[in-house]
Structure 1
Amino acid sequence: MTMIKYPKNVLQAIMLLIFGFITLLPLIAINELHIINIPKEIFNHIMFLLYFLGIVLFYTLKNKGTASFISFFKTGDSFNAIAYIIICLLVMIFQVGINVPLAKFISYHFSKTNNITNPLNDIYTVLASIILAPFCEEIIFRGIILRGFLVNYNFKVAILLSAIIFCVFHINPSQLIGALILGLFLGYIYGYTKNLFTTIIFHSLSNLISVLTALLLFQTLGIGRADIIYGKWTLLTVGFSVILVGCLIYLLHAFVKKKCIKNV
């Protein structure tokens, strides 16, 4: 097993993320001076990609070659088919029944602006959320930060701390609750499997379901400010979804404790 020297703790993880922002300063300066003319939507995604590459470079240098980029994709373990079905149900119910209504509710009360919109109006952001963000964020937060924490903290603390950092990274108030729960969930999967491919796929699936739910809301409600997303059924939907998610988590953990994991 590769010996991870960095990051060992929360402070080092935060410094790593800060370094990523520092690498963007030249590009930001160039953009402010209008030396290049790139649409804002594309420019933001270019910045995110460079931010990711800066973090990977710094991480590799700090580990002095003991952790290469290729090492992120060494195949770990895999759950069995039933466990994967449970995870898919978990992700779907969480997004549709908990995260989307809570995020829209919080967004409405913070911004007081339209929060029911057509997500396909910004196709670049949709593609980035399904492809770019899961790939880069899983390498950063599970492949780098959580992997380092698992060496230096106990299992539960490592997952919790990495999920909190993942949550804070998202900044947007409407995304904080969803990011925290998703971070805990993906951290749990990675903690048992050490398989980054799995977390990337389920992160992508989670974002895809969120986009499809937002599109369905737009087609049903049209553009508007929705105080209560599902109307009189909102509280019932969220409450029932919380119960279902809790039961599925218990069931998934039971499978894990029975060691229904196979080497791949």
Structure 2
Amino acid sequence: MEVGSNINLNPSNTLRLLIIKIFNHICMFIQTFKGLTLPRAWLIIFIILGFTALASVFAYYSPAFDFFTIQQSAYILSCFGIVIFSVVQPAMGFEFVPRFRVNARLLIATFFMSAAIACMSYMGHVLLPLPSNEFLQFAEVKIDTTYNIIAGVFLLVFAEEFLFRGIILEGLQKRYTPTFSVVLSAIIFSVAHLDPVQLLPMFLLGLLTGFLYQKLRDLCMSIFAHLLFNIAQATALPAASNNWQLSPLLLYTILAAAALVLVLGYLNIRKYAHFHKAKMQQMPKQVAASMVDPRVFSE
């Protein structure tokens, strides 16, 4: 039976999806929750397995529903499920510390850095196209229906940022150095998308959002960066590319300019972080402690 995006949902494809997702989430939890007990680990695995199996069976017997939509919904619910499970289980040792602050300087820097990564990923795909598997595009952003816009652009962003930055990166930082934690969380974030075409763009996005979260201890900027990236990938870049006829030299020039934007944005955010840290140190200890987490702006 063919449903949705013409993917043949035979038993082998369904089993393949389940195995990939189980392995994917096992890897995430092995890296993040070193103290997780075996019963709790299996409980989380069965939660993921249940959501995915239910989505696959539902899509198989409901040809009117697009397979991509059902599969993406299962992915989003799985992410939110892990976040809720981690927060409500004190035995896992997680303290949900993200704060939400908005600053014009940070917004501008984040905007240009997100646009630069989206541009780099698109130009890189033009210069070096990679094979894509439609069966693995469950985390892709599509704007063909209202639900896909809401789910892919908004719900997916919140689910992934709360999971990969608020939970996974937060857990990694308790065991590893800040830099290694950001890189490792970006790798986990990239691999979680499974699609080869998205590996490098998601890794770069994971580095940016992880850096923002680590320096600012603030999910707001991470969510904003991720949201801008998704919007750019889904709308602006594909629309503009229809009228682009760029030479290889110009493509490489755009890539270099985007890389320069990332470097300047990185330096700008680091400067802001050090300035804010110095400002906190000048305040009375009681006031500073109430305004910022003691681990903020760690090197």
Give the TM-score of the pair, scaled to structure 1. 0.74
Q: Specify the alignment match of 2:265 in structure 1.
A: 248
CA RMSD of aligned residues (A): 3.5
Contact 2:56 2:71 in 1 (8 A): no
Partner of 1:40: 67
Change (3 A) 1:161 1:240: same
Please, which moves more after superposition, 197-206 or 141-150?
A: 197-206
1:168 Cα offset (Å): 0.8
Kindly indicate whether residue 191 of structure 2 is the aligned counterpart of residue 168 of structure 1: yes
Q: Is 2:106 the partner of 1:83?
A: yes
Question: Match of 1:231?
Answer: 247
Kept in 2: contact 1:103–1:175 (CA 8 A): no
Distance verdict in 2 for CA 1:19–1:231, change over 3 Å: farther
> How many angstroms does 1:126 deviate by?
4.1
TM alignment of 1:92-111, pairs within 5 A = 92-96=115-119, 98-106=120-128, 108-111=129-132
Contact 1:134 1:203 in 2 (8 A): yes
Q: How many residues matched?
A: 240
Letter in 2 for 1:176: L
Residues 1:23 and 1:121: Cα distance change in structure 2 (over 3 Å): same
Counterpart pick for 2:49 among 11, 18, 22: 22
Q: What is the CA–CA distance in structure 2 between the aligned matches of 1:143 and 1:11, rounded to whole Å?
A: 12
Q: 1:216 to 1:65 in 2, by over 3 A?
A: same
Give the structure 2 partner of residue 116 of structure 1: none
CA contact (8 A) 1:93 1:241 kept: yes
Query: How far has the Cα of 1:34 moved from its partner?
Result: 1.6
CA 1:162–1:65: 2 relative to 1, 3 Å: closer
Shift of 1:28: 4.2
Alignment deviations for residues 137-177 of structure 1 (CA, whole Å, 9 cap, x no partner)? 00110111111112222211221111110111111122111
What is the TM-score normalised by the length of structure 2? 0.66
Measured in 2, the distance between the counterparts of 1:54 and 1:129 equals 17
Structure 1 position 125, deviation (Å)? 3.8
Change over 3 Å in CA distance of 1:123–1:35 after alignment to 2? closer
Quickly say closer, same or farther: Cα 1:51–1:203, change in 2 above 3 A.
Answer: same
Q: How does 1:42-191 map to 2 (within 5 A)?
A: 42-60=69-87, 62-64=89-91, 72=96, 76=99, 78=101, 80-96=103-119, 98-106=120-128, 108-111=129-132, 120-121=143-144, 124-191=147-214
Percent of counterpart pairs with the same letter? 20
Q: Structure 1 counterpart of 2:193, which letter?
A: H
Task: Report the residue type matching 1:245 in the other structure.
Answer: L
SS at match of 1:230: coil
Q: Distance in 2 between matches of 1:21 and 1:246?
A: 38
Encode CA deviations 1:19-75: one digit per residue, 9 max, x unaligned: 5532324404633662785332431232123312432344246534875xxx75x66
Q: Secondary structure at the match of 1:151?
A: coil
Match of 1:3 in 2: none
Give yes or no for the alignment of 1:259 onto 2:276.
yes
* 2:190–2:206 CA contact under 8 A, matched in 1: yes
Is contact 1:52–1:136 with CA below 8 Å preserved after alignment?
yes
User: Does the 8 Å contact 1:141/1:162 carry over to 2?
Assistant: yes
Tell me how far apart the structure 2 counterparts of residues 19 and 230 of structure 1 sit (CA, whole Å): 49
- Show the counterpart of 2:239: 216
Question: What is the distance in 2 between the residues matched to 1:121 and 1:109?
Answer: 23
